[in-house]
Copies of this chain bind each other. A is one copy, B any other.
């Protein structure tokens, strides 16, 4: 009879399915659960089910929320005239951590990527267009990643939105704060030169 503890094997395989978690890490995580009091495992289980059940996309900006309309969209103090368009819900969190942006967001839930079979129709572009129809919006900030797909998505949307008379901007390219010129690639450096500002 082989030494196989079914409930443990099952827990390990659940951890293994998480992104970036290999066999050994999964085993370590599963064993750490066994070392904790049972209440910890129950709280963890509750948090898992709760998060999955309660969180959905904001009806307006498509970001994650447990409300019908997310706190950002329903915040009267935020500028509805500016929409920052991002690819993923986690990008909203990244911008919110800066505490620098007072506008609203729109999450596309992906980027155009013909190689992966993701066309514009698979993104939440229709929902963005509905928001623009109100006429309230003055500027769209394209904040997709500086990758081929991110650029393609930004320029696709810009071609779509510019004719509506709305200003479309793109995040600045340049050297990262605290970065080292020596390690910056030539494209980044060239863009940093191009986008130089007077001091």
Q: Is the CB of A3 within 8 A of B55?
A: no
Hey, which chain B residues are within 8 Å of A75, CB to CB?
A: 1
Given A41-B49, A45-B45, A45-B46 in contact, is the A89-B31 Cβ separation under 8 Å? yes
Hey, which chain B residues are within 8 Å of A89, CB to CB?
A: 31, 34
Which of A12-20, A120-128, A131-139, A159-167 lines the interface with chain B?
A12-20
Q: Can you name the residue of chain B whose Cβ is closest to the Cβ of A27? A: B90
Residues of A1-60 contacting chain B, CB below 8 A: 1-8, 10-11, 14, 17-21, 25, 27-34, 36, 38, 40-55
Q: Can you name the residue of chain B whose Cβ is closest to the Cβ of A97? A: B3
Q: Is the CB of A64 within 8 A of B1?
A: no
Residues of A61-93 contacting chain B, CB below 8 A: 63-66, 70-72, 74-75, 89-90, 92-93
Hey, which chain B residues are within 8 Å of A49, CB to CB?
A: 41-42, 45
Alpha-carbon separation in the docked complex, A30 to B4 (Å): 28
Task: Select which of B11, B43, B70 is within 8 A of A14 by beta carbon.
Answer: B43
Hey, which chain B residues are within 8 Å of A28, CB to CB?
A: 19-20, 90
Alpha-carbon separation in the docked complex, A71 to B26 (Å): 23
Hey, which chain B residues are within 8 Å of A25, CB to CB?
A: 20
Q: Is the CB of B50 within 8 A of A48?
A: no
Hey, which chain B residues are within 8 Å of A40, CB to CB?
A: 17, 52
Q: Is the CB of A6 within 8 A of B66?
A: yes
Excluding A14-B43, A19-B28, A34-B52, 15 further A-B contacts by CB distance (< 8 Å) are A3-B63, A3-B72, A3-B92, A4-B71, A5-B66, A7-B54, A8-B51, A8-B64, A27-B93, A33-B51, A34-B64, A34-B89, A41-B48, A41-B53, A42-B48
User: Can you list 5 contacts pairing A with B, beta carbon distance less than 8 Å?
Assistant: A1-B74, A27-B90, A31-B90, A34-B52, A38-B53
